[in-house]
Amino acid sequence: MSAPPDLFASRWVELPAHARTVPEGGLAAGFRAAGVACGIKPSGRTDLGVLVCDAPDAVSAARFSRSGALAAPVLLTQERCELGALRAVIANSGNANAATGRQGYEHAAKTQGAAAALLGLDPAQVAIASTGVIGVPLPVERLIAGLRDAGEVLRPDGDADLWAAIRTTDAFEKRVTLDVELSGGTIRISAQAKGAGMISPAFATMLCFVQTDAALAQETAELLLGVTVKRSFDRVSVDGQLSTNDTVVLIASGASAVSVAPESDDELRLGEALDQLLRALAIALVRDGEGSEHVGRVIVRGGDPDGVERAARGVANSPLVKAALHGGDPNWGRIAAAVGQALPGTAPLPFDIAIEGIAVCAAGAALPHDAAALDAAVGGPEVEYEVGLPGEGAETEVFFSDLSHDYVSINAEYTS
């Protein structure tokens, strides 16, 4: 595995002045975590993670994939958990427990029951998350045996082990610890996320667990997670493929004793930090998209929010645009075609296109431009595309990876 890059190095992320990364990592106060190998992954790698919050009055919020083929752990967590009062997450990689029917649901329920017993919690406080191959029965006995092992090694600095337990094809760590200055003192946020394929629309094939020791009302956790997920994991695409298992869970322990009141300045400050943290993780998912070597950002502006959204998704998901990004090809005609496809029946549509600030198309027609400058601009690790549609007032962005030979290799040769 490559060394973890600085997740805040992207020019599209800016940590607010009142937040700083904690290089040595570690969980927010009030949390312990562990990761063990329980034998789900044939490789013998770590594949089972446990996160637990020791505060009885923890509050939480969660978001999930909207797939019609939701995996059993997502269905179970949605149906059987108290999503505002979660205290633990059991996560495995190597098996998605998706398209596994009633048996899969029972396996998720057994896992939840076993974890609750071992951790001394109510089952409704234990969320279950899985990622890996679809349509294969979960080896639930191994998982439950692994839970016992994990229970013995729970540690306040177990975030690295937890991250290792949820990784699949991820090439680098996506794990952050932040200290955030609020009026009442310093609070900590820690987060672990995994990509790396099947990443798109309503927020990516991904798992992300976020912990904070701030003391929050449940409504605040709900509000902050809702807004920041919409601005981060909802805005990325590796391959336009929505997963069956996407899960984001935020738990607040209150262990710092620093309270964040609703609609306070501190709520705003905490939100800003969480926003940039999730944005950094989301962009890291794209950067670490399967086979990805470049990250694109498309910004679309216009008068119709729905059209702006469709155009941005259309560009971000176009395999032709992605292949051009991979090859450093300044082929903006593919942007034009993707916009045209996203907005059928609107021809002749007067759209504008700029790449890295170089205007290449205005009102639907090519503009003379410095081809050498454009060539140089599209060869970098991050490339920004701007599309203007008629009207104003609506704007959106999508971050996307390129389409590489490695994406094909990973997905043609690896049953994931």
Residues 143-172 that bind a second copy (CB under 8 A): none
347-351, Cβ contacts within 8 angstroms, sequence gap of 24 or more: 349/389, 349/390, 350/390, 351/387, 351/388, 351/389
User: Of these, 55, 133, 145, 394, which contacts a second copy (CB under 8 A)?
Assistant: 133
Region binding a second copy by CB under 8 A among candidate stretches 164-172, 196-204, 219-227, 250-258: 196-204
Question: Going residue by residue from 323 to 342, which x/- string records binding to a second copy, judged by CB under 8 A?
Answer: xx-xx-x-xxxx-xxxxxxx
The least CB distance from residue 396 to a second copy, in Å, is 17
Our CB check for a second copy shows the closer of 224 and 378 to be: 378
The two tokens of residue 43 are 């490789």
Question: What is the phi/psi pair of residue 216, to 5°?
Answer: -120, 150
- Restricted to residues 98-117, the positions that interact with a second copy (CB under 8 A) are 98-104
Our CB check for a second copy shows the closer of 168 and 211 to be: 168
Strand pairing report for 88-93 and 126-131: parallel
**Whole-angstrom Cα distance, residue 61 to residue 217?**
11
Our CB check for a second copy shows the closer of 6 and 370 to be: 370
- Restricted to residues 355-394, the positions that interact with a second copy (CB under 8 A) are 360-361, 363-366
User: Of these, 27, 37, 134, 277, which contacts a second copy (CB under 8 A)?
Assistant: 134
298, β-bridge pairs? 385, 398
Which helix (H) or strand (E) covers residue 401, if one does?
strand 394-401
Q: Would you call 205 a catalytic residue per the annotation?
A: yes
User: Of these, 34, 70, 119, 282, which contacts a second copy (CB under 8 A)?
Assistant: 70
Total residues in contact with a second copy, by rule CB under 8 A:
77
* Nearest 10 degrees: Cα torsion 132, 130, 196, 240: 90
240 is a site residue for a second copy (CB under 8 A) = yes
11 is a site residue for a second copy (CB under 8 A) = no
Our CB check for a second copy shows the closer of 267 and 386 to be: 386
**Whole-angstrom Cα distance, residue 126 to residue 319?**
39
User: Of these, 73, 94, 158, 201, which contacts a second copy (CB under 8 A)?
Assistant: 201
The least CB distance from residue 19 to a second copy, in Å, is 34
243 is a site residue for a second copy (CB under 8 A) = yes
48, β-bridge pairs? 36, 92
Q: Is 226 within 8 Å of 61 (Cβ atoms)?
A: yes
User: Of these, 56, 113, 135, 379, which contacts a second copy (CB under 8 A)?
Assistant: 135
206 is a site residue for a second copy (CB under 8 A) = no
- Restricted to residues 244-283, the positions that interact with a second copy (CB under 8 A) are 244
139 is a site residue for a second copy (CB under 8 A) = no
> DSSP characters for 312-336?
HHHHHH-HHHHHHHHHT---THHHH
Helix (H, G, I), strand (E, B) or coil at 207: strand
Q: Omega before 139 cis (within 30°)?
A: no
The least CB distance from residue 213 to a second copy, in Å, is 34
Residue tagged active-site, from 168, 169, 205, 228: 205
The two tokens of residue 254 are 């209150």
- Nearest C-alpha neighbor of 86 from the set 248, 274, 260: 248
**Whole-angstrom Cα distance, residue 265 to residue 81?**
31
User: Of these, 113, 137, 262, 381, which contacts a second copy (CB under 8 A)?
Assistant: 137
The least CB distance from residue 132 to a second copy, in Å, is 9
Helix (H, G, I), strand (E, B) or coil at 301: strand
- Restricted to residues 74-93, the positions that interact with a second copy (CB under 8 A) are 74-75
Residues with active-site annotation: 205
